[in-house]
Structure 1
């Protein structure tokens, strides 16, 4: 559920990944990044490049 919220925030805001990770309850962005990559198969920046129109 938290990872879906991260996806939504990456798509809908320009907040940094670190800010989003803290907002959804991770104490450390690197932990969130590892879980995100495991679940999504992309890094947060790759996700934004692929799914957010420029």
Structure 2
């Protein structure tokens, strides 16, 4: 698992997405505290649909 700050995430988004596609988890920190997490979509055991989507 890799942790980056928001500036690093914005600057290196393409590289981070490649890492996620390879199976790695990326944590984005705000003010030094974990805030968001990028994970491969196949890492979830159940499918999550955005609000308003049906299927």
TM-score (ref. length: structure 2):
0.27
Higher helix residue share: 1
TM-score (ref. length: structure 1):
0.27
Higher strand residue share: 2
Q: Which has the larger radius of gyration?
A: 2
